[in-house]
Structure 1
Amino acid sequence: MTGRISKLPLRWWIIGLVTLGTILNYLARSTLSVAAPTLKEEFSMSTEDYSWVVLAFQASYTVMQTVAGTVLDALGTRLGFFLFAVGWALANMAHAMATGWQSLAFFRALLGGTEAAAIPAGAKTVSQWFPPRERPLATSLFQMGTSVGNMIAPPLVAFCILAWNWQAAFIVTGALSLAWAGLWWWGYRDPGAHPKLTEAERAVIVSGQSEDVSGKPATRKDVLKSRSFWAIAVPRFLSEPAWQTFNFFIPLYLVAVWKLDLKSIALWAWLPFLAADFGSLAAGLLPPWLMKRGASLLSSRKITMTLGALCMVGPACIGLATSPGVAIALFCVGGFAHQMLNGALITLCADAFDSRTVGTASGMAGTAAWVGGMLFTLLIGQSADQFGYNPLFVALAALDLVAAVVLWGLLRSDGGRRTQS
């Protein structure tokens, strides 16, 4: 790796490495959702049984988000992210040994605990390597990895199942993550220790700190006491159920409502995650555009999040769909909307907290988010078979709109300062 390739600064290659890791992280976790129809038949699982398997992942991930963020702040991004990546790769490959929904749930719990480091690691990398005006785009790039991983999963996992068996799908996706862990260990260093970082680029990163929000919480106690943390954590709690529903239940929805087979799922189910990529890109490009027109740094993030929440009205209308194509189109609106609003919320962690506590703050906010996702999964498991999915999609949109109101209510200003880009 060189300091500049085709005049691209090193920090953008670093975020590209994080993005690749995020892609493989989400590819690994999405393997189950694509294989779910096959595994439900293989293990004679009901939707409620499957919801408990998903819940095992969510519960472990929820607890470990806070732990992972603290570990990253303690060990450093390079070593901490490497250890977690090796862990999730091996846990994903272990799914091939499952013999029923109970053992499948056990391996999902292992996967959830180790995958929890991805978003805190990305947020910490952004805070260390990028000045504030570049953070929305940097965050959107690694966040695009979440949707790209979900987008790749349907065709890749379906191919593995049809060509070999369902066990192969988990082994292949886990092996890819294991290879990335080695690449991360070889290619990443913090800015202060990277031998290929030029002095000119180091000056850009350091000088940009003068544009930052002042008075950042610098200890874990400060984080929990800060209004900024709850302004991020509560909206993430309310908005995360939408993304987890898209992740874990789109294939089951297509089978239950539209009677699609595995080949049809491979053809359709990746499209909402392609749309989500554009939502991530919007989350990166809109805030700088708003700041150039006089919006403060924090206001630019809040406006972006609110526009995403308003777009969630699209998936609320899935009950009106007249074909699987229309349903997928509305899921695409939802994927775009969620990644737009979520990108703004994740960027706020890098904006509002000291680099020493970004991992901790992001992890604790992630825990809040996954508590929301976990509770909604319980609701799906208890009600989807009896009442259908349509009321659930309406509820997701309502939660995101409430999240926007909470964000504006709790995060009111950044000292009246205007940050120019």
Structure 2
Amino acid sequence: MKRIPHLRWWIVALVCAGTIANYLARNSLGVLAPQLKTSLAMTTQQYSYVVGAFQLAYTVMQPIAGFVVDRFGLRVGFALFGVAWSFANMLHALAAGWLGLAFFRGLLGLAESAAVPSGIKAIAEWFPARERSVAVGWFNAGTSLGALIAPPVVIAVSLWADWRVAFIVTGAVGLVWAAAWYAFYRSPAAHPAITPEEQALIAADRPSVPGPRASAREILGSAKFWVIAVPRFLAEPAWQTFSFWIPLYLATERGMDLKQIALFAWLPFLAADIGGVLGGYLSPFLVRRFGVRLITSRVAGISLAAVLMIAPGCIGLAVSPYTAIALFCVGGFAHQMISVLINTLSADVFTPEEVGTANGFVGQAGWIGGLLFSLLIGQLADTVGYAPLFAALSVFDLIGAVVLIVGIRHLTVPEPRR
């Protein structure tokens, strides 16, 4: 096979494509929520249970999925999960009520939970530490790109056919990606297209001769895990809210119809893409320009983004729906900065052999926060409104930044090979 210079960036593109397929399927529910509430006679509370079924399954499965890709390898593991989430999303077309929809949503959560642990593991395997935040930024852009294209694509298909066909189409995209992943992905040591120079660059930055992988108990018992997991727990409710509740909020509180939602609901995710990519570049910029340490640069970026998260907390004060969307855009930008840098910290402080499991547990902490907050929205949105709930998201991220600043001494980078 022909050698490909800078192959690691092509690997990131492949991971990003998988994340786009993953989030296109995931966000189909949120886009179709106003239509599904009518077609399946769902209340807001029942819709929150459908969302919760996905979140609960995803939460439970993330560390298991991380263990699977650590144990059996990324090539096979990630491809199998891709096939599974594709069929699970297509099964949504069979739902006859909210209970059936919740069941299929739970299956989707089980399968989609592998996306982030797998992406972080690929970056830990393929990238030296100084490039990881940039790579995570581009990989993480797939989460926003999938969410960005979901409103126009899903609504177009549902208007052309119906909501059942929309679930089938968005699920089928993942099958194409899974085939491409299995065909082209290999580890750096086994990839026939990698150049010797790039292989040496990656190997030189790996930790000293790796020992046995840390056990789940050892990971959960380490201070560095909790310093990352607590801010992730506090940050994830914002992204879950943006992903699953923006269309319903725009319909119920701002009076927008499906076509208006298709025109505007993708904008926060475009801003999120920009924030994720720029957040990845911010860390190496701080290292080069101001000489700060690698871990400190990550924490500084998260702290800056936490301050920007005050914007979506002010949505209740917005007079027009367009101002509300603009504040959502600032929130999307800021959240993805936080997400990129927290996920990069997992790759920084855990070895490539254990990072899939570790990031799975970190992700589980985040999804517990997202699940609890979604259920809270379902209980309170129709009574107290969305404004105080959005305000809480700002407070959560500020607290998370404080936890990282106080606990930074526990975050250390494994020594490179000498």
Shorter-normalised TM-score: what interval? over 0.9
Contact 2:224/2:410 (8 A) holds in 1 = no
Q: Give me the whole-angstrom Cα distance separating, in 2, the residues matched to 1:373 and 1:258.
A: 24
Q: Give 1:209 deviation, angstroms.
A: 3.1
Aligned to 2:236: 240
Q: Could you tell me which of 296, 304, 308 is aligned with 2:305?
A: 308
Q: Could you tell me which of 246, 252, 276 is aligned with 2:248?
A: 252
Q: Give me the whole-angstrom Cα distance separating, in 1, the residues matched to 2:144 and 2:162.
A: 25
Give 1:246's aligned amino acid: F
Contact 1:236/1:365 (8 A) holds in 2 = yes
Aligned to 2:259: 263
Say yes or no: does 1:51 pair with 2:48.
yes
Q: Give me the whole-angstrom Cα distance separating, in 2, the residues matched to 1:374 and 1:92.
A: 19
* 1:355–1:143 Cα change, 3 Å: same
Q: Give me the whole-angstrom Cα distance separating, in 2, the residues matched to 1:299 and 1:3.
A: 36
Q: Could you tell me which of 280, 291, 306 is aligned with 2:276?
A: 280
Q: Give me the whole-angstrom Cα distance separating, in 1, the residues matched to 2:295 and 2:106.
A: 36
Say yes or no: does 1:407 pair with 2:404.
yes
Q: Give me the whole-angstrom Cα distance separating, in 2, the residues matched to 1:245 and 1:416.
A: 33
Aligned to 1:221: 217
SS at match of 2:31: helix
Aligned to 2:93: 96
Say yes or no: does 1:322 pair with 2:314.
no
Give 1:256's aligned amino acid: T
Say yes or no: does 1:332 pair with 2:314.
no
Aligned to 1:3: 3
Give 2:65's aligned amino acid: A
Q: Deviations over 1:165-216 (max 9, x none)?
A: 1111001011010110000000100111111111111011112337x9x999
Q: Give me the whole-angstrom Cα distance separating, in 1, the residues matched to 2:278 and 2:227.
A: 21
Aligned-pair RMSD on alpha carbons?
1.9
Q: Give me the whole-angstrom Cα distance separating, in 1, the residues matched to 2:413 and 2:56.
A: 39
Q: Give me the whole-angstrom Cα distance separating, in 1, the residues matched to 2:221 and 2:337.
A: 27
Contact 1:296/1:414 (8 A) holds in 2 = no
Contact 1:151/1:271 (8 A) holds in 2 = yes
Say yes or no: does 1:33 pair with 2:33.
no
Q: Give me the whole-angstrom Cα distance separating, in 2, the residues matched to 1:416 and 1:12.
A: 23
Q: Give 1:411 deviation, angstroms.
A: 2.2
Q: Give me the whole-angstrom Cα distance separating, in 2, the residues matched to 1:208 and 1:416.
A: 11
Q: Give me the whole-angstrom Cα distance separating, in 2, the residues matched to 1:91 and 1:65.
A: 17
Q: Give me the whole-angstrom Cα distance separating, in 1, the residues matched to 2:222 and 2:99.
A: 40
Contact 1:239/1:369 (8 A) holds in 2 = yes
* 1:414–1:66 Cα change, 3 Å: closer
Give 1:264's aligned amino acid: Q
Aligned to 1:160: 157
* 1:413–1:64 Cα change, 3 Å: closer
SS at match of 1:258: coil
Aligned to 2:122: 125
Q: Give 1:282 deviation, angstroms.
A: 1.7
Contact 1:60/1:109 (8 A) holds in 2 = yes
Give 2:236's aligned amino acid: E
Give 1:100's aligned amino acid: G
Aligned to 1:21: 18
Q: Give me the whole-angstrom Cα distance separating, in 1, the residues matched to 2:203 and 2:211.
A: 17
Q: Give 1:97 deviation, angstroms.
A: 0.5
Q: Give 1:417 deviation, angstroms.
A: 11
Contact 1:295/1:418 (8 A) holds in 2 = no
Q: Give me the whole-angstrom Cα distance separating, in 1, the residues matched to 2:162 and 2:218.
A: 50
Q: Give 1:136 deviation, angstroms.
A: 0.3
Aligned to 2:379: 382
Q: Deviations over 1:33-69 (max 9, x none)?
A: 1111111000111100100000000000000001101
Give the gaps of 5 or more residues in structure 2.
none
Q: Give 1:2 deviation, angstroms.
A: 4.8
Contact 2:20/2:145 (8 A) holds in 1 = yes
| TM-score between the two structures when normalised by the length of structure 2 | 0.96
Aligned to 2:111: 114
Q: Give 1:223 deviation, angstroms.
A: 1.5
* 1:216–1:380 Cα change, 3 Å: farther
* 1:291–1:124 Cα change, 3 Å: same
Q: Give me the whole-angstrom Cα distance separating, in 2, the residues matched to 1:320 and 1:16.
A: 39
Q: Give me the whole-angstrom Cα distance separating, in 2, the residues matched to 1:364 and 1:148.
A: 25
Q: Give 1:258 deviation, angstroms.
A: 1.1
Contact 1:218/1:353 (8 A) holds in 2 = no
* 1:26–1:394 Cα change, 3 Å: same
Q: Deviations over 1:275-316 (max 9, x none)?
A: 001110122100001111211111011001111111000001
Q: Give me the whole-angstrom Cα distance separating, in 1, the residues matched to 2:80 and 2:242.
A: 28
* 1:418–1:306 Cα change, 3 Å: farther
Give the gaps of 5 or more residues in structure 1.
none
Contact 1:216/1:353 (8 A) holds in 2 = no
Question: How is 1:126-145 mapped onto 2 (pairs within 5 angstroms)?
Answer: 126-145=123-142
* 1:151–1:107 Cα change, 3 Å: same
SS at match of 2:381: helix
